[in-house]
Amino acid sequence: MILSEIHLPLLSLKDALLFTATCSLIVHAIYKRYEIEPSSYFKSLLLLGFPPALSSVFVHQSLASKWLSVLVASSSFYGILLTSIIAYRLSPFHPLYNYPGPLIAKVTKFWMMYITTSGRLSEYVRSLHDQYGLYVRIGPNEISVTDLAVMQDIFGPAGVGMPKGPIWDARRNPDIAPSLVSLRDLHEHARQRKPWNRAFSTSAVKDYEVVVARRALQLADCLEKASAASQRGVDLSKWFGHFAFDFMGDMAFGGGFELMRDGDKDGIWALLEARVKNLAFLIHIPWATRLLLKFPSITGSVSKFRNFTVERARIRKEKGSAVKDLYYHLTNEDGAQLQPPTVESILSNGELAVVAGSDTTANTLSGVFYYLLTHPRELVRLREEVDHVFPRGGDDAVDAGKLLAMPVLNAVINETLRLQPALPTYTERAPAKGSGGHWIGQRFVPEGTAVVAPIYSIHRDPANFSPLTDEFRPERWFEKNTGADGKWNTSATAFMPFSVGTANCTGKNLAMGEMRAVVAVLVQRFEIAYAEGYDVSTYEKDLQDRFIMQVGELRVSLKAR
């Protein structure tokens, strides 16, 4: 039976509109508790569809046209609902009222989504902290914090810190179990992290060093051939991507990728880049993720990439181990886990392994050589150190023990990570569901509030790194230059390129070893300069914060030394 056939009380147009307004306010009151958490689509359809439909019946009692009645009722309902939402988010009754920030960001997350699509998110958030201070409201229910004194309260273990925030709902595959990086329960995260810790333990990283060396030398050989065959030089960014992907395949799946040798013939790297871009804006609207993933024109690359990683994980699981790679530990082939992993968790972690093991490292390597080529004195200083530790005509620069002890090399990488962190902005946390809220320092953060600690902003805060905060100065990392009598203020606490706390990057030591080997080998092997005709300014223009920092072309000329 349709609404028009039900016996309803007769209302004047004024009373009908009053009924519509009341429905709007009731719906807002219901939604107010669930602004952060993704809602059921059915409940949303019911709450946003039924009241204006019923209101249109009452309005139709006064207006002859059905379509006009629907228009009046709907516009009144949604207009009042929107006005009520905006008024509440800007009112003193909102728990984040006292936090400063741009007006539009307080009203809607669509503003930060727009900023994200521009690729300038990290720079924008930094400008907000420059303007407003250590605490900035960047969303209706979200604050950004650069106060080092409360980092333990944000990133600490269960009982001290907070679990991951709602953006991670947007970055997980909704059709299978969440990967390690998307787990929002601190206790479950700690349990599932154990095999990852074993996979990246000191002894495990030692086993990977032979593979790192082989792949780094292969990269140098491929670059030499490519440079000889090209009049325009080579794009280091592309080659670093291929190198990182090949090594990731060795480390995670026991092999299977040869992008350096064969090129990206299957479009895998291109698919990864598209996936990063298309997932970036979803972090601001996690409630829409499941729906938008159904539209290939919007997020098709995300689904294709996930299917690829799931298939690679499935093949690796069925094949078993030839070497002690990451999946040797994740599939419990070492027998260390009392509770065997589920098939779903094994498959879901394939995406994490591919992205974390390739994209971040490749983009940081591009940054290293951009900064070295832009600061020739630093390149000369690094080359002198490499030649001293690995005399020319002797061994290749791949001895991990020697690389670890090279102060200039490590300072160059650290300074690049400071200026160009792989995860620039959204290290988001939130009070646990059902907790009521969480204290960060002397401030109480109510449940339903997300907290972001933007690494890019923290790294470029003069209070943490000075002088010349925005300049590439590796010497700020030399021990003799820091401390009470040193020239440089360099805060070890503020340096967090791999995040901090119990959910930090498990593979950071391997990533550092990987980068040391590549940088040292290329500096040892080649004279490197920007390619003729390459516009150096385009590198920083093309840097984009897409949740993960993305880089553009870095075209160089290489000449064997």
Binding site membership: which residues?
Answer: 505
483, 476 Cβ separation under 8 angstroms: no
Amino acid at 240: F
Q: What is the helix, strand, coil percentage profile of the chain, to 5?
A: 60, 10, 35
Helix (H) or strand (E) holding 227: helix 202-229
| Cβ neighbours for 5, distance < 8 A, ≥ 6 positions apart | none
62, 6 Cβ separation under 8 angstroms: no
Which residues carry a binding-site annotation for heme? 505
DSSP line for 302-334:
HHHHHHHHHHHHHHHHHH--SS--HHHHHTTTT
Closest by Cα among 64, 94, 68, 75 to 20: 75
* Two tokens, residue 269: 């790297």
Tokens 């060396």, residue located: 213
Decide: helix, strand or coil at residue 346.
helix
Q: Phi and psi (nearest 5°) for 297?
A: -70, -20
Which residue(s) pair with 438 in the sheet? 445
Closest by Cα among 181, 172, 112, 168 to 293: 172
Amino acid at 86: I
